[in-house]
Amino acid sequence: MSDTAQASLNDTLRRRAYRLSRAELARRMGYRRVDEKLIARIDYVLGDPLPGLDSSHYDFRYSGDEFLISLCDALEIDPALRTAEHARIRVLVSHRNTAFRPVIFVDTGFKRCNEPIFVLGLMEPRRWLGFDRSFLDLGLGEQFITARERVVAHYEETAGTLPLWGVIQRYLFQYAANAVLILDTDGRAIGETDAIRADRATTTIQGRDAGAVIKPVSGASPEDESR
């Protein structure tokens, strides 16, 4: 996304769209009715580094790919640039869809005594830190740096303690199917292992995993962070 061509496409889209009202731009794209939802979609695509191709935005006229093509045509973007960057972005999105989803486990050495399973299930998301999909675009070295920064920030935010689970002892960063980097509470690498070995407590609310319903401290559910 940092290459010149990608920057050129995004910058050109925004620059040319600035010259038009959103209503005029929508009409050029073939829409007869312009409402807030459509304007919001246009704004989202114009501000997105992967202009709308890695999102769930849709309407009954255009898919994500069709929307971008129509937007480019309406703004008279060079077809060669549009085609090349459309293909480049599609490769990136495909990678995001198939790549391993890294995750951090917050290890407190917890041993269950008599805590109710339902309560443990509700609190389980607090032991896991995920990343947004753009994290998958980073090289392994950059992922390690970002994970260390996340560990340090999380330890400071929680003052080193998770409610119910106890005092944080270390963090386990799983970056591949069989590869886990062990970090201390200062974010320093202190070892490696092949898996996160922790029993996961689960419970359901209206048939759904409570982890997808109750949001952890980070503000995103495990589902959100792993997508």
Q: Is the pLDDT of residue 122 over 50?
A: yes
Q: Is the pLDDT of residue 137 over 60?
A: yes
pLDDT of residue 201: 64
pLDDT tens-digit readout, 10-59? 899 999 999 999 999 999 999 999 999 999 999 999 999 999 999 877 78
Phi, psi of 192 (to 5 degrees): -140, 155
In this prediction, residue 202 has a pLDDT band, given cuts at 50, 70 and 90, of low
Q: What does DSSP assign to residue 10?
A: H
* Residue 138, Cβ density class (10 Å: 0-12 exposed, 13-18 middle, ≥19 buried): middle
Secondary structure percentages of the chain, helix, strand, coil, to 5: 50, 15, 40
Q: Is the pLDDT of residue 209 over 90?
A: no
Q: How many helices (H) and strands (E) would you count in the chain?
A: 9, 9
Alpha carbon 90 to its chain's center: 17
pLDDT of residue 216: 45
pLDDT of residue 222: 45
Mean pLDDT over the full length of the chain? 87
Q: Which H/E stretch holds residue 26?
A: helix 22-28
Q: Which sequence spans correspond to the domains of the chain?
A: 4-97, 100-226
Q: Is the pLDDT of residue 149 over 60?
A: yes
Average pLDDT over residues 85-94: 94
pLDDT of residue 3: 41
pLDDT of residue 58: 74
Average pLDDT over residues 162-166: 95
Q: Which has the higher per-residue pLDDT, 204 or 60? A: 60
Q: What does DSSP assign to residue 20?
A: S
Q: Is the pLDDT of residue 92 over 80?
A: yes
Q: Is the pLDDT of residue 212 over 50?
A: no
3 state DSSP class of 146: helix
Q: Is the pLDDT of residue 221 over 60?
A: no
Q: Which two tokens stand for residue 179?
A: 């590869």
Query: At CB < 8 A and 24+ separation, what contacts does 119-123 make?
Result: 119/164, 120/164, 120/201, 120/203, 121/201, 121/202, 121/203, 121/204, 121/210, 121/211, 122/203, 122/210, 122/214, 123/162, 123/163, 123/164, 123/165, 123/201
CA distance 14 to 43: 9
Average pLDDT over residues 175-195: 97
